[in-house]
């Protein structure tokens, strides 16, 4: 992966973040309705553990597709390493995607859809659009889209339940960072 695709990914995520933040500001949607660090910490933990549970569930329900997806992710990690992309840049991309996607899908779209159609329909619609933005090829791709839909429901549920984007941003970032670390093939304890 050359600098150009990486620059495109950063630009895409930062554009989503900016568009979502501007939309939220102009529409009067708050990023945090009632600031509460303890509540946000508990929701973040619940969200992150839900994502890990969702990962285990998909691994059990569709083991072959899950292995294909794991192979795709490891290939991505190898491609990033070969292009000279380091862990710090990958973590920055994980953060940019968490910010961009939470501000856009949950902060802007979920608020709009919930206002027009109610929170339940809004939750499902933003999750469907979130899933559509996460394509991958083959059987693994179908699994990834289904997983992204469920993750969109989790992230949207965090926002609706807490009134804050912070738990979703943190859970999203940590899960993305974990995935990139696995894709990079982090060294085991014996090789550190």
Q: What is the predicted pLDDT for the residue at 189?
A: 40
Q: Where in the chain are the domains?
A: 41-184
Mean pLDDT by runs of 10 across the 192 residues of the chain is: 74 96 95 88 97 95 89 82 83 94 97 97 98 87 92 97 95 92 61 31
Q: What is the predicted pLDDT for the residue at 32?
A: 86
Helices 166-184 and 138-162 cross at an angle (nearest 10°) of: 150
Q: What is the predicted pLDDT for the residue at 2?
A: 52
Q: What is the predicted pLDDT for the residue at 29?
A: 93
Reference 135, options 150, 145, 127, 149; nearest CA is 145
Reference 32, options 162, 192, 161; nearest CA is 162
Q: What is the predicted pLDDT for the residue at 3?
A: 56
CA distance 45 to 35: 17
CA distance 182 to 174: 12
Q: What is the predicted pLDDT for the residue at 188?
A: 39
Q: What is the predicted pLDDT for the residue at 70?
A: 85
Q: What is the predicted pLDDT for the residue at 181?
A: 82
- pTM: predicted TM-score of the whole model, two decimal places: 0.90
Query: What does the pLDDT look like over 99-133, one tens digit per residue?
Result: 999 999 999 999 999 999 999 999 999 999 999 99
């Amino acid at each position: 992966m050359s600098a150009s695709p990486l620059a495109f990914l950063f630009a895409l995520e930062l554009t989503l973040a900016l568009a979502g933040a501007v939309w939220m500001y102009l529409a009067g949607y708050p990023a945090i309705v009632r600031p509460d660090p303890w509540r946000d910490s508990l929701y973040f933990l619940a969200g992150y553990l839900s994502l890990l549970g969702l990962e285990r569930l998909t691994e059990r329900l569709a083991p072959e597709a899950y292995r294909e997806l794991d192979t795709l992710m490891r290939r991505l990690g190898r491609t990033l390493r070969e292009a000279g992309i380091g862990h710090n840049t990958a973590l920055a991309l994980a953060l940019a995607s968490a910010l961009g996607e939470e501000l856009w899908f949950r902060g802007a779209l979920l608020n709009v859809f919930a206002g027009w159609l109610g929170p339940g329909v809004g939750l499902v619609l933003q999750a469907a659009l979130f899933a559509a933005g996460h394509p991958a090829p083959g059987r693994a791709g179908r699994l990834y889209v289904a997983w992204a839909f469920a993750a969109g429901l989790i992230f949207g549920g965090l926002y609706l339940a807490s009134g804050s984007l912070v738990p979703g941003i943190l859970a999203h970032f940590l899960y993305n960072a974990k995935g990139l670390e696995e894709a990079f093939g982090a060294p085991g304890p014996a090789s550190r």
